[in-house]
Structure 1
Amino acid sequence: MALPSAPDLQEINYHLPDERIAKYPLAQRDESKLLIYRSGQIQDARFKGLPNQLESGTTLFFNNTRVIPARLFFQKDTGAQIEIFLLSPVSPTHIISLMMEASGPVVWECMVGNFKKWKDDTVLKRTLEVSGKPVELEARIADRDNKQIEFSWSDPSISFAEIVELSGKVPLPPYLNRSDEPEDKERYQTVYSKQDGAVAAPTAGLHFTDEVLSELSQKGVNLNYLTLHVSAGTFQPIKATDAREHNMHSEQVEINRATIEALAQTERVVAVGTTSMRTLESLYWYGIRLMKDNEDFSIQKLEPYESDEILPSRQEVFQFMQEWMAKKGVEILTGKTEIFIMPGYQFRVCEGLITNFHQPGSTLMLLVWAFIGEDWKKVYEHALNNSYRFLSYGDSSILLP
């Protein structure tokens, strides 16, 4: 497909009153409202009724990433507070799942609050208590220009995941304009979260309960899981005049062979969340690379728009990938993607999307526009006029073009 013309960004800068932003989650996850968009028509329901909206044979693909308490606070001897926000791993590995298992020391690229007050030779220290015993945590600047911070701790029997769990705070989205509270530790997490590494929740999944998942299975809806570790870049507004020049964030993905097999065989693919959709569409383009003997799993933001050839079907691509993985003895694919889905994109994998209501002017708004066309305006107007709650802790929608 050819590179699309630049979308008019004023189109997606709709007015979102502050009172429509859900600052807190509902008491019961599946009591959230569900806007049903099917073939241009809109209905209102409750999320607990989702199983009634999906046909047997459909496969839902969930992002099972787990949010880590990525905000670490240290206090200097002078009293100044330094906040370190974990962004992406640098050393000893770039693979997030392995980094979380490390017994130290580790280096991360970070955002640092009060960075100017932290001198290069100053080691920041905190004492944590683990099973009644003190553990010393230290942070030092490894590379100021690249904002790389090294962490080390006194007990090598403790993993970095445990250190972060003990010392960090939940990285709530900045637009909530509030500090994290004890409830957020559990509620800003899906009930099926498993793989540590995200610094933002895949919020479409926050509405699911064990009961809803069970009902879906009983109805013959298949449940499958993949991993995309959501980065802080998901909140980055588009500042470029030409959206195509937006510095799209890169995120790490992990997919096992069972997921590839499901994609090759399922009748209908519905992505739970924009992160799952980005992963699934990126997988297709990785499959195209593999068919050309290119094993580099690093999907560039405009790569899907660079091909004008007739391309194989979803089933053909994933069948090839399945056979390639079996031949190579590969059980898990690890890669990264910065795919930019905007109006003009041709969807290769996803036929449905479960998603929340997104920030004005965001890349996620462009994705929704790309998926359901100009009807996105009708969907958002309906949500605004019918008391839907917006953003991360807000209500949900299922989009079935």
Structure 2
Amino acid sequence: MRVKDFHYDLPEELIAQTPPAVRGTSRMLVFDRATGSYRDDHFRNLPDILKAGDLLILNDSRVIPARLYATRARGRHTQQNSPDPSGRIEVLLTQHIGAGDWSALVRPSRKVQPGERLLFQRANGTAADAPLLEAEVLSSDDFGERTLRFEHVEDFQAILETIGHMPLPPYIHREDSIEDRERYQTVFSHEPGSAAAPTAGLHFTPEILAQLRQSGIQTETITLHVGLGTFQPVRAKQVEDIHLHTEQFTLPVATAEAINTAMKEGRRIIAAGTTTTRTLEHCAQQAAGKPLQPHSGETGIFISPGYEFKVVSGLLTNFHLPESTLLMLVSAFAGGERGREAVLAAYAHAVRQKYRFFSYGDCMLLL
């Protein structure tokens, strides 16, 4: 299939720039996979739409303030710490590799080559202030990707909270705000490590989660730290040429047991988000027909039409960018080539009805 087969037209004014005034008040398009039909609804009705016995899986990864701003140290391949006034360098941390090493996207990338040292200071700091973080560029890849090695500090996460910015997607045309610290985060987030929010989870409130449980719907969690594998742009022309970066995940003991029991009993397993879907389907592939085993690892699974789902039987997801790998996953879940056409028809309906799109937008439930 061609990547452009997943194109649709979206007026820019439908791209949500802010979250809804009240969490949980989003609209929801309910899609019937058996018929390809759809209807308008609201997310607050999810506890009434799902059935007692359903198992809902959530991604509890927590977004870190992964967007940082740096200056280059004067003198390449040196330990000299005076900042170079030649311009600000934007750094988006995308994956913790281990110890002080991180994968990152850097802009402008042409200025930042292996051997360079980057200095990170407070937003209102001066050139005379000691940097709070220092990193050496170890390697470079295509499209602005770099590997950074940060010098050891006592509490790296605390410094990120001090100088970092919430990594809002590029289609949100504003600076991050104090409000984003809460709203670009799920209410059940627990494990820090994501460079973007698992956005299907943004709709949930404590009250809706309580209603789900009262309705007999079981909830469990996985962790997938969102990185380049989820939001990297597609540069291939053919779907079969797409390869995703790996992302780190954990399948906990309780979740593996709940999934195995639900599958044995023939109950539905609903994935909240494409990140949850990719994690569950990767684990099912690794299990090769046997019960799922709790473990941690990395996945670069790419799901497109033709894929046969092994675990997930329902999907809650936001509306995705044209020609994106996430739209391909949704099309695959809706039923391959027929599903692609039905999903694009549903998206056209959402455009006509002025749904809000992407991270802070409305959602879609496929059952």
TM range (shorter): 0.7 to 0.9
2-side partners of 1:121 and 1:284: how far apart?
42
The equivalent residue for 2:78 is none
Name stretches of at least 5 consecutive residues in structure 2 with no aligned partner: 73-82
2-side partners of 1:121 and 1:224: how far apart?
44
- 1:170 matched to 2:166: yes
2-side partners of 1:347 and 1:123: how far apart?
44
The answer to whether the 8 Å contact 1:128/1:136 transfers is: no
What is the TM-score with the length of structure 1 in the denominator? 0.79
Judge which range, 254-263 or 117-126, deviates more. 117-126
Q: Can you list the C-alpha shifts for 1:333-370, whole angstroms capped at 9, x where unaligned?
A: 11111111111011111110001111000011111111
The answer to whether the 8 Å contact 2:68/2:120 transfers is: no
2-side partners of 1:393 and 1:218: how far apart?
27
**SS of equivalent residue, structure 1 residue 57:** coil
Aligned residues between the structures:
336
What is the TM-score with the length of structure 2 in the denominator? 0.86
**SS of equivalent residue, structure 1 residue 31:** coil
The answer to whether the 8 Å contact 1:172/1:200 transfers is: yes
- 1:393 matched to 2:360: yes
The equivalent residue for 2:225 is 229
1-side partners of 2:5 and 2:209: how far apart?
36
* Aligned counterpart in structure 1 of residue 104 of structure 2, from 99, 110, 117: 110
**SS of equivalent residue, structure 1 residue 361:** coil
1-side partners of 2:195 and 2:206: how far apart?
24
How much identity, in percent, do the aligned residues show? Answer: 40
**SS of equivalent residue, structure 2 residue 40:** strand
Deviation, structure 1 residue 163: 1.8
1-side partners of 2:234 and 2:110: how far apart?
27
Runs of 4+ aligned structure 1 residues displaced above 4 Å come to 115-119
1-side partners of 2:70 and 2:325: how far apart?
33
The answer to whether the 8 Å contact 2:69/2:120 transfers is: no
Deviation, structure 1 residue 108: 1.4
Q: Per the alignment, do residues 43 and 74 of structure 1 end up closer, same or farther by CA in structure 2, a change over 3 Å counting?
A: same
Q: Per the alignment, do residues 116 and 371 of structure 1 end up closer, same or farther by CA in structure 2, a change over 3 Å counting?
A: closer
2-side partners of 1:115 and 1:25: how far apart?
31
Judge which range, 114-123 or 182-191, deviates more. 114-123
The answer to whether the 8 Å contact 1:69/1:164 transfers is: yes
The equivalent residue for 2:283 is 283
* Aligned counterpart in structure 2 of residue 384 of structure 1, from 337, 340, 351: 351
- 1:245 matched to 2:241: yes
Amino acid at match of 1:170: M
The equivalent residue for 1:270 is 270
The equivalent residue for 2:298 is 336
The equivalent residue for 1:327 is none
2-side partners of 1:122 and 1:31: how far apart?
46
1-side partners of 2:235 and 2:122: how far apart?
41
The equivalent residue for 1:138 is 133
**SS of equivalent residue, structure 1 residue 26:** coil
Amino acid at match of 2:148: I
2-side partners of 1:191 and 1:140: how far apart?
32
Deviation, structure 1 residue 223: 0.4
Q: CA RMSD in A?
A: 2.1
2-side partners of 1:121 and 1:239: how far apart?
28
- 1:148 matched to 2:143: no
Name stretches of at least 5 consecutive residues in structure 1 with no aligned partner: 1-6, 93-105, 289-311, 323-331
Judge which range, 69-78 or 169-178, deviates more. 69-78
**SS of equivalent residue, structure 2 residue 90:** strand
Q: Per the alignment, do residues 48 and 121 of structure 1 end up closer, same or farther by CA in structure 2, a change over 3 Å counting?
A: closer
